[in-house]
């Protein structure tokens, strides 16, 4: 699905040189590369501030805590997301309030978010698969209703909507540098992006044992910091990210062309105003599980993101949801199929994927290539 070593080959020399520099100083935590990366990633993202933290889930939790979310507060989010979006809300002391997505882009639907809202305190759209949720209507909803707006930006480094990236639409965004993300570390990492100086300050404090000055702990916090060695990797990769995202867009366009004649395959689309960074290229097909098994048997690293919508995960059983609560998200979960895509994927590899998908659809009894 993702060839992480192909990405490493492009930055290997810089990373090794940077690691040698860090090893010579021994500044493994809060070294100068962390501050430099924070400044560079904030500039890249178009936000005033960036705080490196230990992972993306922590980033979301710390953003909510820094905004002083009240205990038990509801946070509206889409039903189809990675479990971490909802997990972060619970860990911060809140309660996920799920809402359905639109059928075309599978992004949080502002009207459904408004319907699900109840007495919720926050709004957490997820920028799924590499494109932003419809932020203008979501920001308008937040402004009208007093919902605090956050963003799950784990899958969208470099994506914009109407020229604006994640992290500047509301109070704060959390992003992840898990190795498979568009900007991936060599281990775990994450960041909070914000234009709010007070959120920046509080995330730093909370992520460093609640400490604003050495030996002074103003509140109880956590240990959630970005390692200096990971900052070295991220700085080297950030310099290539715009090019890598462009390569992902080219690869997505190639899939669009290769699969255009496949009956029964619904291609992913870019929502209006969005520059998509194609974290994942997810088509929708009938008999998905059989098609996936055929593809995997043919040696194609296809997958599903995500097979079970969050509201039906056993971990959230206490919220009392049942099948049918969010029909668009549930139908999508049964149909989506993620095809391999990474910046270095070759045309030959994509042709192989398309051919294997045609055969897999035919064998699964769905109609494959229109040829
Ligand atoms: C990866 C991801 C996260 C969490 O990131 P971690 O770094 O693994 O904690 C949160 N939300 C979404 C949508 C993600 O894809």
Q: Hey, do 4-235 and 241-363 end up sharing a CATH topology, with the first three levels equal? A: no
pLDDT of 240 above 70: yes
Pocket around ligand 1: residues whose beta carbon is below 6 Å from it? 55-57, 81-82, 84-85, 126, 152, 154-155, 176, 178, 188, 190
Selected from 3.20.20.120, 3.40.1260.10, 3.40.50.300, 3.40.640.10, the CATH number assigned to the domain covering 4-235 reads 3.40.640.10
pLDDT of 146 above 70: yes
pLDDT of 368 above 80: no
The mean pLDDT of the chain is 96
Instruction: Categorize the per-residue pLDDT at 370 as very low, low, confident or very high, splitting at 50, 70 and 90.
Output: very low
The pLDDT score that the predictor gives to residue 336 is 98
Q: Residue of the nearest CA to atom 2 in ligand 1?
A: 154
pLDDT of 227 above 80: yes
Q: What percent of the chain has pLDDT over 90?
A: 94
The pLDDT score that the predictor gives to residue 279 is 98
Q: What is the pLDDT of residues 283-307, one digit of tens each?
A: 999 999 999 999 999 999 999 999 9
Q: Residue of the nearest CA to atom 13 in ligand 1?
A: 82
Burial class (CB in 10 A: 0-12, 13-18, 19+), 349: middle
Compute the distance from residue 149 Cα to the ligand 1 centre, in Å. 18
The pLDDT score that the predictor gives to residue 4 is 83
Of 123, 109, 119, 121, which Cα lies nearest the Cα of 80?
A: 109
Instruction: Categorize the per-residue pLDDT at 366 as very low, low, confident or very high, splitting at 50, 70 and 90.
Output: low
Q: What is the pLDDT of residues 263-280, one digit of tens each?
A: 999 999 999 999 999 999
Q: What is the pLDDT of residues 49-82, one digit of tens each?
A: 999 999 999 999 999 999 999 999 999 999 999 9
The domain limits of the chain are: 4-235, 241-363
Q: Residue of the nearest CA to atom 5 in ligand 1?
A: 56
Q: How far apart are CA 147 and CA 117, in angstroms?
A: 9
Which of 85, 173, 188 has most ligand 1 atoms within 8 Å of its beta carbon, as the pocket-test mutant?
85
Q: Is the peptide bond before 306 cis (omega within 30 degrees of 0)?
A: yes
The pLDDT score that the predictor gives to residue 371 is 41
Which of 132, 152, 181 has most ligand 1 atoms within 8 Å of its beta carbon, as the pocket-test mutant?
152
The pLDDT score that the predictor gives to residue 212 is 87
Distance, first Cα to last Cα, the chain: 26
Report, as an integer, the average pLDDT of 85-108.
98
Instruction: Categorize the per-residue pLDDT at 177 as very low, low, confident or very high, splitting at 50, 70 and 90.
Output: very high
Class of domain 241-363: alpha beta
The pLDDT score that the predictor gives to residue 2 is 78
């Amino acid at each position: 699905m993702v060839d992480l070593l192909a990405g490493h080959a492009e930055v290997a020399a810089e990373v090794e040189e940077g690691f040698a520099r860090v090893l010579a100083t021994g500044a493994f935590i809060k070294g100068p590369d962390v501050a430099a990366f924070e400044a560079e990633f904030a500039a890249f993202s178009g936000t005033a501030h960036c705080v490196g933290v230990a992972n993306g889930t922590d980033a979301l939790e710390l953003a909510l805590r820094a905004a002083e979310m009240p205990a038990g507060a509801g946070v509206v989010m889409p039903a189809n997301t990675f479990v971490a979006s909802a997990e972060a809300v619970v860990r911060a002391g809140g309660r996920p309030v799920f809402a359905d997505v639109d059928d075309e882009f599978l992004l949080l639907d502002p009207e459904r978010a408004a319907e699900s809202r109840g007495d919720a305190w926050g709004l957490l759209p997820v920028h799924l698969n590499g494109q932003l949720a419809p932020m203008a209507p979501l920001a308008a909803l937040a402004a009208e209703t007093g919902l605090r707006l956050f963003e799950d930006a784990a899958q969208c480094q470099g994506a914009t909507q109407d020229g604006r990236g994640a992290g500047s639409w509301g109070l704060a965004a959390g992003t992840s540098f898990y190795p498979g993300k568009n900007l991936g570390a060599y281990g775990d990492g994450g960041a909070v992006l914000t234009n709010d100086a007070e959120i920046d300050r509080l995330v730093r404090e909370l992520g460093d044992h609640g400490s604003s000055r050495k030996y002074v702990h103003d509140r109880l916090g956590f240990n959630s910091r970005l390692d200096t060695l990971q900052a070295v990797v991220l700085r080297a990769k950030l310099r290539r990210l715009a090019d890598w995202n462009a390569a992902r867009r080219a690869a997505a366009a190639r899939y669009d062309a290769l699969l255009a004649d496949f009956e029964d395959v619904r291609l992913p689309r870019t929502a209006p105003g969005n520059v998509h960074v194609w974290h994942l290229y997810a088509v929708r097909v009938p008999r998905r599980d059989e098609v996936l098994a055929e593809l995997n048997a043919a040696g194609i690293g296809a997958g599903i993101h995500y097979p079970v919508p969050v509201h039906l995960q056993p971990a959230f059983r206490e919220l009392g949801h049942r099948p049918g609560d969010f029909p668009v998200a549930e139908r999508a979960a049964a149909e989506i199929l993620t095809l391999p895509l990474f910046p270095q994927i070759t045309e030959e590899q994509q042709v192989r994927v398309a051919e294997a998908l045609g055969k897999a659809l035919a064998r699964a009894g769905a109609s494959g290539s229109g040829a």
